[in-house]
Structure 1
Amino acid sequence: MKKVIPLSLALFMVFLISAVVHVPAQVVLNYLPLPSQLGLSGVSGSLWDGRAAGVKWQENNFGAINWQLAPLKFLTGKVEAQVRFGRGSDMQITGRGTVGMSTLGPYAYNLIVSLPVAKVLEAAPPLPIPVEFTGQVELSIKSMIYDAPYCQSGTGSLVWNTDKIITPLDELALGPVVANFACQNSEITLNAEQRSQHVSSAADVVLSPNRTYQASAWFKPGSNFPQAFSEQLRWLPEPDGQGRYQFTYQGRLN
């Protein structure tokens, strides 16, 4: 009898989880208190393996999303899903990875998000000079646990896959720009670098929970640094002993 009770409870839990995850996704969404800014259309499949043909947030179209829940994670007090999203997005954003919710808060790991750099710049303040940026920006989150205002912990990288920027003076070859970041108690540290025959550069940035930041950066002209840019170097402070022009910044995000 002592063995029958635990076995019965286990079988009941398996049955309950199976019943829940196979409920049609649209039925579940009808009872969820979704934010008014969120719009879902074309929902199909089950809670366990479903799809929404369109996802909108504040009238921005983020395209379709597919998800597949991991039922066994329920037994550990987590809700976790493999997701793929972005097809048909106005921002041309695409992504895939694992997201979830635990007692520690929302989390993600092995999450990759990509979009054109031009779409990123549309959300940024206008530049004082006409500069054309090309390529894709790819955010890779190795692991992250969210906590206000930024994150409880996390690591990842941000890669700008480009070959050049175009200015009224000339084109400047960059090559990939790679930035690795880490977060601990909402303090974010970022280390970026880039190298090409035109120029090499690096930057270190620290963003604090109170939205203040400190940054140090340098660049060094390469062997094929365009002449049009070389003529502008006279307006900068003298380089250091290694030929690097250094800068420091500090301030507060809006």
Structure 2
Amino acid sequence: MKLFGKIVIGILLYLLFMIMLFPARVAVALMPLPSGVQLGGVSGSLWHGQADVLQIGSRQLERLSWQLQPSSLFTGVVQAQWQLGSRASAVNGKGIISWSSAGIAARQLRLDAPVGFLVGNRRLPFKTVLSGDISLLLDEGHQGQPLCGGLNGKLFLNHIGLNNQFGDYPLGNMAFSLQCVKGQVQLATDDEKNAIGVAGTLLFKDQLQMEVNGRIRRTDGQSRDLQNSLGLLGKPDANGNYPLQYKGRIPGL
């Protein structure tokens, strides 16, 4: 190997090690973070670092760690394995996320959080207060137009409760499958995945719009307040199913 080639390789290796050892706190200080996002107690390197606190608006998360995969850079992709909190934390999760010219993608993602944390300080219609927990399990998903290009996973609503000016509605546990339909995020469920007789789909669109197409029937798992409210949805069909229809902006957003 000629001397020039050895010098070039030496410089490239030097630059690679400099980047790998670059302090995470300096990188975060130079990075243009989105508005309302702050990282505190940052330590480690750019490639393998952590932050004691992640602040997103009024929400505070604990212990975010990440590890970048250098080999992915040769394919034009920035890929990182991340972990948030621990299983003892109210909000916790982990997964693999990547950035490329095609957009953002994620796989092997798990996220657990209380409903109240996700709703935050938003005012929901009819003075509604939600309780319970949400678990998201995402096998894979990637960005597309207008929202997604692919999506495969499940969403679990655990011990969900809804209270508003009309009554108390314990909804229990519900499970949804996640898919990407014509670039939009679809959640689908049937009455075998919940005890309150709900089946149908929720379609999340761009511009914070959503569309609900489903039905609900009377079951023994429904509270009395819920059973008494079914008539407000319209007339039941021949099978006793009441329509669940909505098209408009996502409530509270």
Structure-2 residue corresponding to 1:42: 41
Change (3 A) 1:12 1:75: farther
Structure-2 residue corresponding to 1:152: 149
Question: TM-score, normalization: structure 2?
Answer: 0.77
Render the CA deviation track for 1:49-76: whole Å, top value 9, x for unaligned: 1111122234542332101111111121
Structure-1 residue corresponding to 2:28: 29
Change (3 A) 1:15 1:182: farther
* Sequence identity percentage: 23
Structure with the larger strand share? 2
How far is the alpha carbon of 1:136 from its aligned partner?
0.8
Question: TM-score, normalization: structure 1?
Answer: 0.77
Render the CA deviation track for 1:72-111: whole Å, top value 9, x for unaligned: 1112111111111247xxx942221111211212221112
Q: Distance in 2 between matches of 1:59 and 1:118?
A: 13
Change (3 A) 1:195 1:168: farther
Q: Distance in 1 between matches of 2:128 and 2:207?
A: 32
Structure-2 residue corresponding to 1:52: 51
CA RMSD of aligned residues (A): 3.7
Structure-1 residue corresponding to 2:71: 72
Render the CA deviation track for 1:174-233: whole Å, top value 9, x for unaligned: 432112222256322221245589621112133444655432121111245455554455
Q: What residue identity is the alignment partner of 2:45?
A: S
Structure-1 residue corresponding to 2:175: 178
SS at match of 1:199: coil
Number of matched pairs: 249
**2:175/2:194 contact within 8 Å kept:** no
Change (3 A) 1:5 1:138: farther
Deviates more, 1:48-57 or 1:162-171: 162-171
Deviates more, 1:173-182 or 1:14-23: 14-23
Pairing of 1:99-178 with structure 2 (within 5 A)? 99-128=97-126, 133-147=130-144, 149-162=146-159, 165=162, 174-178=171-175
Q: Distance in 2 between matches of 1:197 and 1:209?
A: 28
Pairing of 1:80-99 with structure 2 (within 5 A)? 80-86=79-85, 92-99=90-97
Q: Distance in 2 between matches of 1:230 and 1:154?
A: 34
Structure-2 residue corresponding to 1:188: 185
Change (3 A) 1:8 1:101: farther
Q: Distance in 1 between matches of 2:29 and 2:168?
A: 53
**1:158/1:178 contact within 8 Å kept:** yes
**2:169/2:225 contact within 8 Å kept:** no
Gaps of 5+ in 1: none
How far is the alpha carbon of 1:115 from its aligned partner?
1.1
How far is the alpha carbon of 1:149 from its aligned partner?
4.8
**1:100/1:107 contact within 8 Å kept:** yes
